[in-house]
Amino acid sequence: MLILAIDTSCDDTSASLVEFHEEDGRPRILSNVISSQSEIHAKYGGIVPELASRRHNELIWPVVSEAMAVNKTPLEGLSAIAVCMGPGLIGSLLVGCSFAKAVSFSKKIPLAGVNHLEGHILSVFLEGAGPGFPYVCLIVSGGHTSLYLVEGFLHYRLLGRSRDDAAGEAYDKVAKLLGLGYPGGPEIDRLARAGNPKAIPFPRAFLPGTLDFSFSGLKTAVANFLKDQPRPYGQELVRDVAASFQAAVLDVLIRKCQWAAKKTGVRNLAVAGGVASNSALKQGMRDMARKMEMQLFVPSPAFCTDNAAMIAMGGFHRLRAGELSGPGLNPQAALKL
């Protein structure tokens, strides 16, 4: 089964051509093209939805053409098309869904709408066998911080989610407070390596009794701390703030995964989403998994950030279950899984 997948959920235009083994669903990624808009949004310190959707309009066909060019497959040679239908920025989602529906209708190719969160959950299967079922998956990115119990393909149970800011969103906002660039996550991760994570006692919102997350209070604590500091900030202060902020975020993420594993009794843990590329988070998760005698699965950085290959994974299993989408497919900004 040869699937063309499209993701335009936020500010990256991505298309991927993936070949699946019919019997076991083993993927072979032929292409995974991602066109980033970071340079466009950097001067605003965050994503501007209208600019993002306009850029998707410009890039969607060139990106799909590049993805299809790897083995010179014509559109008629596709088995199906998979497209991200939400959650995400509605203007951006409309571009990808409209394009996919047009190709599906004109070429009479089956279409599958895929939840963006499902793509992240299944991204751990793109490079190998992946974890056995059931497993706990932490999705941690700029738009989402959620814990799911994955009982099988297409079977997901929400364990906890952020009540306010996503972890990646908090990273970007703190980076802006510190005068760093956008996206802020990689820069804070880099600076934190040279800082003291115990320098500033930033709060941890553990929300006992739940597996939910909250990072808005931590962001406010950083802002209040910086109000009392002389400008311009010294390099040592910036490094210590970055390290102390990151330690507060990671303490919560790791502890919640530990609680989820104990609550569900699973022995497999996956971490996906853009923040899963954070070096300190990966090391902390490895240490926790080792102590609990669990197996940890984290995709390569290229498959942590938004990408169409993970949408192809979701599309394959939706199609195999007979879940086809038609011309009435409409994206949803707040789509639940």
CATH of the domain at 50: 3.30.420.40
For residue 291, the tally of other CB atoms under 10 A from its CB is 9
63 has pLDDT over 90: yes
What mean pLDDT do residues 119-139 have? 96
Q: What is the pLDDT of residues 84-110, one digit of tens each?
A: 999 999 999 999 999 999 999 999 999
56: domain range? 2-122+304-320
* pLDDT at residue 284 in the model: 97
196 and 218 in a single domain? The answer is: yes
Is the residue at 325 inside a domain?
no
Is the residue at 330 inside a domain?
no
* pLDDT at residue 150 in the model: 98
20 and 151 in a single domain? The answer is: no
* pLDDT at residue 210 in the model: 97
What mean pLDDT do residues 307-320 have? 97
Q: What sign does the CA torsion over 55, 57, 60, 62 have?
A: negative
* pLDDT at residue 39 in the model: 86
Indicate the number of domains in the chain. 2
Residue 318, CB half-sphere, CA atoms under 13 Å: how many?
Answer: 25
What mean pLDDT do residues 173-179 have? 95
* pLDDT at residue 46 in the model: 84
- Closest CA relative to residue 257, chosen from 283, 288, 282: 288
What mean pLDDT do residues 261-271 have? 97
Q: How far is CA 301 from CA 55, 277, 279, in A?
A: 24, 5, 11
Structure tokens given for 121: 């959950």
| pTM assigned to the model | 0.95
* pLDDT at residue 24 in the model: 80
274 and 185 in a single domain? The answer is: yes
77 has pLDDT over 90: yes
Structure tokens given for 218: 């931590």
Q: What is the pLDDT of residues 205-235, one digit of tens each?
A: 999 999 999 999 999 999 999 999 999 999 9
What mean pLDDT do residues 121-145 have? 95
Q: How far is CA 76 from CA 4, 18, 63, 268, 316, in A?
A: 11, 15, 18, 40, 18
What mean pLDDT do residues 187-205 have? 97
Confidence label for 60 from pLDDT (cuts 50, 70 and 90) = very high
197 and 88 in a single domain? The answer is: no
158 and 294 in a single domain? The answer is: yes
| Mean model confidence pLDDT for the chain | 95
134 and 114 in a single domain? The answer is: no
* Long-range pairs of 125-128 with CB within 8 A, sequence gap ≥ 24: 125/25, 125/27, 125/313, 126/27, 126/29, 126/299, 126/303, 126/309, 126/310, 126/313, 127/299, 127/300, 127/303
